[in-house]
Amino acid sequence: MATAKTALKQRAFQSVPRNMRRRTASHNSKRVPKRLRDRAEKEMKEDNTPTHTFRKRKKTGHGRLRTETADKLRTMGKKREIIEALVQAADGKGGELMKPPRAHSRWRKRQKGKVWLPTHVWHAKRAHMEIRWKFSVPESPNDKCFRSTQRAVEKRGGVAWDTSYWSHILVRGEGELVRTVLEAVCPGGGGDAKVRAGKRGKECWAYERDGYPNRPIGPVTIIWNPPKPEGDDRRVLVRVHPSAFYKVWEELLSAMRAHNLASGPQKVLIDDMRYEFGSIQISGPNATDALLSVLTPTNPDGDIETKWAKLRGLTNPAALPPQVVLGFEIADPRLRFPPRLEESKLSAKQQQAELFTMQSTWPITPNPFNLLDPKKRAVAVRLQASVKRIQKRKADATPGTFPTAAANDPKIPIIIVSSQLAGNSSGAPKGSPGAWTVILPWKWVQPVWYALMHTTEQIRFGGIQEQQQMAFDHGVPWFPADFPGTDAGKTWEDEQAAKRMQIWDKKPPAKRLNYDAVKIAGKRGEVGDWSRCDWAYIIPATSGGRTNKMNIDVPTTSSLLAPTETMTTDSTTPQSEPTSSSQKPWCQIPSTLATAALRSYPNLPASLEHTLKVLNKGIFAIKITLLHRGAPTACSRIYRLPHADTAWKSLAANIKTKKRDKIVEAGKDGYPQCPGEEDLVGFVTTGNYSLTNGKSVALGGIVWGAWFEEDERCKERLCVVRGVGESVARLARWEVV
C-alpha cells in the first residue's frame, strides 16, 4: 500500500502551470506558490531533497568588503551615465554614429559584440534568442505558438514585438534642403502636404544616390515633425531596418555633404538615433484597447489626447487613414500597474458611432513632437524613478487607488504610427490587419513593455519568426527574406543557406538526401545550389542573357563536401560584410514598376523603355497559389510552362473546370513531367501552409528576362513549382505583390 501510494504521486512544483515552472522550484520551496509551500517542504523532508541555504549565510569580512566596493562603483557608474545623458541631450554636430549604451556591470561581459534590447532579460526567460544585425533579438517563444499567434492577430487578443533593434535616423535643417536630401536617397520621401505637416507617415524605398530603380536598399518609414510657428528648421525621422541601416546612413551622409558643399555653410545635419529611440509594435483586435490602458496621457484634455481616447474599441488600425501619426506625452506606466481600461461613460452604440465618425473624418492637427526635442527627451529619461521609489508611492496610496500625480513626475514623449505588419504596405492586400508602432525613448521601453504584458487584453509576444509568419500569412513580402534583389536579402539568404548546409552535413550519409542522385526531367542532379535560391544560376555575372546560364560552374553536393581549402563558395565568405551591388548582377524591381510594365508588355510606353535593361536582370516579388495540391517550401524552383508540352495546359483546364475524373494525381502515369532547366525562371523565398487562406501558398521572385521572352507563354500567369530535392512538380498561379 505504501508503494502504491507514492507510485503516481505528483510533486508540489509540478502542480504549477508549465509556463510558471522554474528549475529551482524542485529545490527551493519559496519558488512555488504560497498555497503549495507547506506541501513542498514536507516532500523535501521525506526524500531528503537538498535545499538552498546560501541566502541565509552571513557574509565574511572579505565578502562584505566586495559588496561595499561594488555599491560604490555602481553609484559612480550611475553618475557617469547621468552626465553622459546630459552631454548628449544637446544637438551634436551630426554625421557621427552613436555608441551602444553602457551595459550594467553585471551583464557587461555578455554583451561583447552585440547589444541587448531593453527587454532582453524578460525575453531571455521566455524565448529563443539569436544574434542578428549586432543585436540579441528574440527568435521565437519557447511555447508552441504557430496557431495561437494567428488567432491572436485575427480573432482575439493581440501580439506585441519589441522592435527596438530597428534603426532611426534624424535629418534636420532648412525645410527645402532637408526635402532635397531625402529625395536624393528616398524618392517620394518628401511626401504631400499631409506628410510634411506631420499628419501622416510615408512608407517608401531607399535607393543609392541616382540608383533608381536598379540599386534598391530597403523600405523606410519617414515621419516629418510638424512645423513650428517660427523658423524654417525641420526635423524628419527616418525609420529603417537594421540590415539596411549602414547603407542608408552612408547614402544620406553623402547626400548631406554634397548639398552642404553646394549651399556653403552646413545647413543640413543627420543624427544616429539608434540607441536613443526604441519601439514596440502591436497588432490584433485588442491592440488599441491595450495601448489605451497602458499609455495614460499627462494632459488628457488635449486635442490629440482626446481623439486618441475616442479610438476605444478599434479592432484594426488599418481601418484608419494610412500611416496615421500621433504624438503626445504619457505618464509613468508603473504608477498605474496593473493597467486596466476605465469604464466608458458612453453606451456601446454611442461609442461605435463616435468611432465611425473618427475613422471617416480624422480631424487631427498635430503639434510638434516632443520626442524629437533632445532637451525634453533627456528630462524624461533623467526623471525616471527607481522601482523602490515607485513601490513606496504605491504603498502610501489609498488601498484600491493609484498614486496621485506629482509635480516632478516624468512626461514621456512618444510617437504612435499605424502601419502594416511587414513594414511595407505596397503589397498589402485589402483587409489585412494593421499594427500600431510606438516609438519612445530607449530607457522607457522596458516599463511600457512590462505593463503591456500584464493587461487584461490577452496580449502575447512574438519574435522574428512570428513577424515573418504574419506577413507571409497575409501575402505581404517580409524584408529582407523576400527581397533577394537587395544586399540585405542576399546576406539573409547566405545565412540561411549556411544553416541548411550545416543541418544536412550533420546527418550521416544514409540519413540525408543525395541531391546529385535526384532525377529531374530525365537528368540527374539538382538544378543549381540546392541549399539556396541560386539566382546566379539564372542571371550569370558574365552575361546579360540567359543563354550562357549553362556555361557557369554550378556547385554540386560532392563539391560542397570537399575541403574548404580547395573550394570557394558563398557560404565561406564572411557574413558580416554585405555584398556590394557591383558584385551582384541582379536587382530588385519595385512592385509599382513591375505592375505598370506588366499591364503594357510587350508594348512598353516611352516612359518605361529606358528601364528595359534593368528589367531584364531584375527580380520582382510574386505570390504563388497552388491550383491543386502540394506545399511549396523555401528554395523551391519556379518554372514556366514548357513550349512543346501541352500536358500542363490540359491539366490546368481540367482543374479550372473541376473535372476530377480527368485530373491525374502527381506521381502517377500520365502526370506531366517537370520542365527542364531551360525553363527555370525563379525561386520560392518563403512557403508554407497559410492559416488565413486555408491552403498552401508561397512568396518568391521571378526574373523578368527569364520569363518575358518573345513567346506567347509570357501572357499567362501559370507556372510550375518543384520542391528542392523532389522530382514531382505542381501547377500554380502567380501574381505580383
Note the pLDDT of residue 712: 57
Note the pLDDT of residue 51: 67
Whether 550 shows a pLDDT value over 50: the answer reads no
The neighbour count for residue 85, using CB atoms within 10 Å, is 17
CATH of 167-272, one of 3.50.50.60, 3.40.50.1260, 1.10.10.10, 3.30.70.1400: 3.30.70.1400
Of 10-14, 96-100, 462-466, 487-491, the one with minimum mean pLDDT is 10-14
Q: How confident is the model at residue 549 (pLDDT cuts 50, 70, 90)?
A: very low
Q: Which three cell numbers stand for residue 238?
A: 527616418
Most distant pair of Cα atoms in the chain: their distance: 95
Q: Comparing 128 with 356, which gets the higher pLDDT?
A: 128
Q: How confident is the model at residue 361 (pLDDT cuts 50, 70, 90)?
A: confident
Whether 427 shows a pLDDT value over 60: the answer reads no
Q: Comparing 91 with 146, which gets the higher pLDDT?
A: 146
Task: Give the SS3 label for residue 474.
Answer: coil
Note the pLDDT of residue 709: 67
Note the pLDDT of residue 92: 55
Distance CA 585, CA 157 (A): 45
Which pLDDT tens digit goes with each residue over 609-645? 777 778 888 899 999 999 888 889 999 999 998 887 7
Q: Comparing 539 with 325, which gets the higher pLDDT?
A: 325
Nearest to 12 by CA among 3, 53, 126, 34: 34
Distance CA 500, CA 484 (A): 17
Q: What percent of the chain has pLDDT over 70?
A: 84
* Cα dihedral across residues 433, 594, 248, 685: positive or negative: positive
Residue partners of 297: CB distance under 8 A and separation at least 6: 305, 308, 309, 328, 329, 330, 331
Of 159-173, 329-343, 423-437, the one with minimum mean pLDDT is 423-437
Helices 61-89 & 374-382 angle (0-180, nearest 10): 160
Domain with CATH 3.30.70.1400 in the chain: 167-272
Distance CA 593, CA 653 (A): 31
Of 8-17, 590-599, 679-688, the one with minimum mean pLDDT is 8-17
Question: Looking at residues 542-564, what average pLDDT do you find?
Answer: 39
Of 223-237, 388-402, 412-426, 436-450, the one with minimum mean pLDDT is 412-426
Note the pLDDT of residue 5: 56
How far is residue 541 CA from its own chain's centroid?
31
Note the pLDDT of residue 52: 59
Which pLDDT tens digit goes with each residue over 377-396? 999 999 999 999 999 999 99
Note the pLDDT of residue 4: 59
Q: Are 195 and 202 in contact (CB under 8 A)?
A: yes
CA 663 vs CA 102, 350, 668: distances in Å: 65, 55, 11
Whether 608 shows a pLDDT value over 90: the answer reads no
Task: Give one DSSP letter per residue of 356-407, joined into a string.
Answer: HHHHHH----PPPPGGG-HHHHHHHHHTPPPHHHHHHHHHHSPTTSPPPP-T
Q: Are 235 and 457 in contact (CB under 8 A)?
A: no
Q: Are 122 and 250 in contact (CB under 8 A)?
A: no
Average pLDDT over the chain, rounded to an integer: 84
Q: How confident is the model at residue 576 (pLDDT cuts 50, 70, 90)?
A: very low
Of 35-49, 268-282, 384-398, 429-443, the one with minimum mean pLDDT is 35-49
Q: Are 718 and 652 in contact (CB under 8 A)?
A: yes
Q: How confident is the model at residue 84 (pLDDT cuts 50, 70, 90)?
A: low
Question: Looking at residues 115-125, what average pLDDT do you find?
Answer: 95
Distance CA 663, CA 671 (A): 9
φ, ψ dihedrals at 258, nearest 5°: -65, -45
Q: Which residues pair with 173 in a beta bridge?
A: 234, 268
H or E stretch covering 496: helix 487-506
Q: Which residues of 589-618 are buried (b: 16+ CB within 10 A; e: fewer)?
A: bbbebbbbbeeeeeebeeeeeebeebbbbb
Cα Rg of the chain (Å, integer): 29
Whether 56 shows a pLDDT value over 70: the answer reads no
Whether 40 shows a pLDDT value over 60: the answer reads yes
Distance CA 618, CA 711 (A): 19
Whether 17 shows a pLDDT value over 90: the answer reads no
Whether 158 shows a pLDDT value over 90: the answer reads yes
Whether 208 shows a pLDDT value over 50: the answer reads yes
Note the pLDDT of residue 242: 96
Question: Looking at residues 471-492, what average pLDDT do you find?
Answer: 93
One-letter-per-residue 3-state SS of 77-113: HHHHHHHHHHHHHCCCCCCCCCCCCCCCCCCHHHHCC
Cell 495540391 maps to which residue? Answer: 629
CA 594 vs CA 708, 718, 719: distances in Å: 12, 17, 18
CA 299 vs CA 303, 339, 383: distances in Å: 9, 18, 18
Q: How confident is the model at residue 48 (pLDDT cuts 50, 70, 90)?
A: confident
Distance CA 176, CA 192 (A): 13
Task: Give the SS3 label for residue 587.
Answer: strand
Task: Give the SS3 label for residue 715.
Answer: helix
